């Protein structure tokens, strides 16, 4: 079944051509990028509007793969003549929590951001997948009707453009980041919870979600907390895109929530994000998601609910 | 309220005098040891029989502190004349996941194990807190009526006495260890879940619980899985004994379960262990536990249940 989507969702970020080297093999020139992973995941819940640019080297195969995700509206995908697509080569160690960037070619990401199609201007939920915070801000400014703007970022921007990132954080409603990034933003924090609480307060955000990879995710919301472990995966083939698809499942579910951004709704959205990410890592690139069904997602959510349940004893319930 | 305890629980392990240096201060010559932490925690759920030895340097203050835990039966606590109590000095870094042993004096732990009082011989649940696996085996062998023998261990025994540890693992029903220890036992495992599954199968254990500190705990049971995050603590004053009190809450709850060692019961036991451990780290040594009530434990369990709940949407429940 498809989710009933009350609110329109738009995403911008990178679309790329990845080469991934890891203990389970190497794949070359596969589809990658924060916005493509996000959109593929969000599409299991609601239609998703994609705004991104690629170069004239963008393979037809990748367009074909994107079109398999029927709920992605690619009207905002610009194939820019004379430009090169963003390319990234990464290597995972035996401990797949350790990732090394072997090569990166920013390409079209260094140029002007692509235009927002007029039909997308009424979007209510905006996700700013990881990219330059200046571009994230420019993009966010184009949605006058947005009632939920959420961003991701990365170590690079925290280090090199702290002022731009501050401006971004003062504008958005929610942040979805990694634990290492939370620690960079609040170096004095003793742990991830403390860091997330400090970020939420400092920028008066509605919420901060911190992704901890195999250790799950935490939500610090203006009105309360939620914590979730990750799905206990036996095998990780390729962790690339896990965080972006977590965010995609999270925002996709929120787009179906009719403007309810309570702790309870975000907690469930986080559970959906966790489940979608757990499928992403089962294959390289978007391969697993391309064959995934909403029923498989809901079945695994039910499994997760059993696995993490704390059933209350009668004495404590009273 | 006190738990109704269907089955008798006995623990052996170390009782020590600790000096703890950390970012929140230093305490000298406080009560420590795996068995004391375990027994204090288990006592919130059921009576617990303690078998351990200290030297003639054992401070009267520490006896007084132990006696504040009314459910600990200290008939098996031997004050051995001419021997020295186990002493440990540890230092925590700013990142409190990093602990350094500054000094250790094994003392009485290097001698013969203390005798089991005849009144303890009918114990049904046996917990072998961390100590030399030879002593753990000797101790376990004295309980003919035991239907659940569970052990902890540490890196030291994995490295220096692998054969003794193998013999122990072939004897017990359940294992409660840290993630770093699980990784040492199964170095080829890609992650903690895989390592825990391998240990459960290799030794045909009823279950393996892996403690991941601030990242929670996982249960690999013969009949299924459970995963729990840790309680989202704002401040950690002293993590010493967190793992032992986790095990104490876990086993204490199981002693009240009338011989039901199903996944569901162990999942709830793990939640209780998580909650007790979250109190332990709020103060140095056993200070917080000494003032703790069962009601506070149950209240925090209810809070945990809210924080980690995955509420199922109607579509996925159908």
Q: At what angle do helices B263-280 and B294-307 cross, to 10 degrees?
A: 110
Rounded Cα–Cα distance for residues B136 and B52 (Å): 12
pLDDT at residue B190, rounded to an integer: 84
What does DSSP assign to residue A312? P
Give me the domain span that covers residue A237.
Answer: 9-306
* Domain at A111, CATH number: 3.40.1190.20
Distance (Å) from the C-alpha of residue B305 to the closest C-alpha of chain A? 5
SS3 A176: strand
Query: Considering the domain boundaries, does residue A244 fall inside one?
Result: yes
Residue with tokens 């391309």: A290
CB contact under 8 A, A190 and B235: yes
Those of residues 71-130 in A touching chain B at CB distance below 8 A are 94, 96
HEC readout, B202-254: HCCCCEEEEECHHHCEEEEECCEEEEECCCCCCCCCCCCCHHHHHHHHHHHHH
Question: In whole angstroms, how far apart are CA A249 and each of A39, A238, B87, B306, B310?
Answer: 9, 18, 51, 21, 15
pLDDT at residue A4, rounded to an integer: 55
Report yes or no: A117 and A75 within 8 Å, Cβ to Cβ: yes
Compare CB distances from A229 to B1, B194, B227 and report the shortest one's residue. Answer: B227
pTM summary value: 0.91
Distance (Å) from the C-alpha of residue B8 to the closest C-alpha of chain A? 20
CB contact under 8 A, B226 and A305: no
Report yes or no: B128 and B149 within 8 Å, Cβ to Cβ: yes
Count helices and strands in chain B by DSSP H and E runs: 12, 13
Distance (Å) from the C-alpha of residue B231 to the closest C-alpha of chain A? 8
pLDDT at residue B318, rounded to an integer: 36
Both structure tokens of A234: 């036996």
What pLDDT band is residue B197 in, cutting at 50, 70 and 90? very high
Q: Which residue of B has its CA nearest to A274?
A: B310
Residue with tokens 């603590």: B233
**Chain centre distance of CA A187:** 24
Query: Considering the domain boundaries, does residue B317 fall inside one?
Result: no
pLDDT at residue B97, rounded to an integer: 77
For chain A, first and last CA: distance in Å?
38
pLDDT tens for the 318 residues of chain A, in order: 344 567 899 999 999 999 999 999 999 999 999 999 999 999 999 999 999 999 999 999 999 999 999 999 999 999 999 999 999 999 998 877 788 999 999 999 999 999 999 999 999 999 999 989 999 999 999 999 999 999 999 999 999 999 999 999 999 999 999 999 999 999 988 889 999 999 999 999 999 999 999 999 999 999 999 999 999 998 899 999 999 999 999 999 999 988 899 999 999 999 999 999 999 999 999 999 999 999 999 999 999 999 998 777 665 443
Question: In whole angstroms, how far apart are CA B129 and each of B53, B133, B149, B248?
Answer: 13, 10, 11, 9
Those of residues 231-250 in A touching chain B at CB distance below 8 A are 232-236
CB contact under 8 A, B234 and A194: yes
Q: Which residues of A touch B235 (CB under 8 A)?
A: 190, 194
B173 touches chain A (CB under 8 A): no
Both structure tokens of B96: 């409190």
Q: Using one digit for the tens of pLDDT, what is the confidence trace for B85-123?
A: 999 999 998 877 788 999 999 999 999 999 999 999 999
Query: Considering the domain boundaries, does residue B318 fall inside one?
Result: no
**Interface-testing mutation among A187, A188, A209, A310, with chain B (most B C-beta atoms within 10 A):** A310
CB contact under 8 A, B234 and A197: yes
SS3 A155: helix
Query: Considering the domain boundaries, does residue A219 fall inside one?
Result: yes
Of A204, A215, A217, residue with least CA distance to A172 = A204
pLDDT at residue B5, rounded to an integer: 65
Q: How many domains does one find in chain A?
A: 1
CB contact under 8 A, A312 and B304: no
Q: Which residue of A has its CA nearest to B217?
A: A229
Query: Mean pLDDT score of chain B, rounded to an integer?
Result: 93
As a whole number, mean pLDDT of residues B252-257 equals 94
Query: Considering the domain boundaries, does residue A318 fall inside one?
Result: no
Q: Which residues pair with A104 in a beta bridge?
A: A88
Query: Considering the domain boundaries, does residue B242 fall inside one?
Result: yes
pLDDT at residue B4, rounded to an integer: 55
Query: Considering the domain boundaries, does residue B178 fall inside one?
Result: yes
Name the CA radius of gyration of chain B, rounded. Answer: 18
A213 contacts: CB under 8 Å, gap ≥ 6 = A97, A178, A179, A230, A239, A242
As a whole number, mean pLDDT of residues B61-89 equals 96
SS3 A231: coil
Rounded Cα–Cα distance for residues B252 and B45 (Å): 5
Distance (Å) from the C-alpha of residue B134 to the closest C-alpha of chain A? 33
Query: Considering the domain boundaries, does residue A230 fall inside one?
Result: yes
């Amino acid at each position: 079944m498809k989710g009933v989507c009350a609110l329109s969702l738009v995403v911008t970020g990178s679309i790329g051509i990845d080469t991934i080297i890891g203990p389970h093999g190497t794949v070359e020139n596969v589809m990658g990028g924060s916005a493509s992973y996000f959109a593929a995941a969000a599409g299991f819940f609601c239609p998703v509007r994609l705004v991104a640019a690629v170069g004239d080297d963008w393979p037809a195969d990748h367009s074909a793969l994107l079109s398999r995700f029927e709920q992605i509206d690619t009207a905002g995908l610009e194939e820019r003549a004379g430009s090169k697509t963003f390319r990234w080569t990464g290597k995972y160690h035996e401990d797949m929590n350790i990732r090394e960037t072997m090569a990166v070619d920013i390409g079209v990401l260094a140029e002007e951001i692509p235009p927002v199609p007029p039909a997308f201007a009424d979007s209510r939920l905006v996700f700013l997948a990881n990219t330059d915070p200046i571009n994230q801000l420019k993009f966010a400014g184009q949605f006058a009707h947005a009632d939920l703007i959420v961003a991701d970022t990365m170590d690079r921007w925290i280090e090199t453009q702290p002022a731009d990132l501050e401006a971004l954080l003062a504008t958005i409603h929610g942040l979805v980041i990694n634990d290492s990034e939370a620690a960079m933003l609040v170096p004095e924090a003793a742990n991830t919870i403390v860091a997330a609480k400090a970020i939420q307060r400092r920028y008066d955000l509605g919420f901060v979600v911190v992704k901890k990879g195999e250790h799950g995710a935490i939500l610090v919301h203006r009105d309360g907390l939620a914590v979730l472990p990750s799905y206990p995966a036996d095998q990780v083939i390729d962790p690339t895109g896990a965080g972006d698809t977590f965010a995609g499942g999270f925002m996709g579910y929120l787009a179906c929530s009719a403007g309810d951004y309570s702790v309870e709704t975000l907690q469930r959205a986080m559970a959906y994000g966790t489940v979608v990410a757990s499928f992403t890592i089962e294959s390289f690139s978007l391969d697993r998601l391309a064959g995934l069904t909403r029923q498989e997602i809901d079945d695994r959510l039910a499994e997760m609910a059993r696995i993490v349940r704390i059933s209350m004893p009668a004495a404590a319930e009273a």
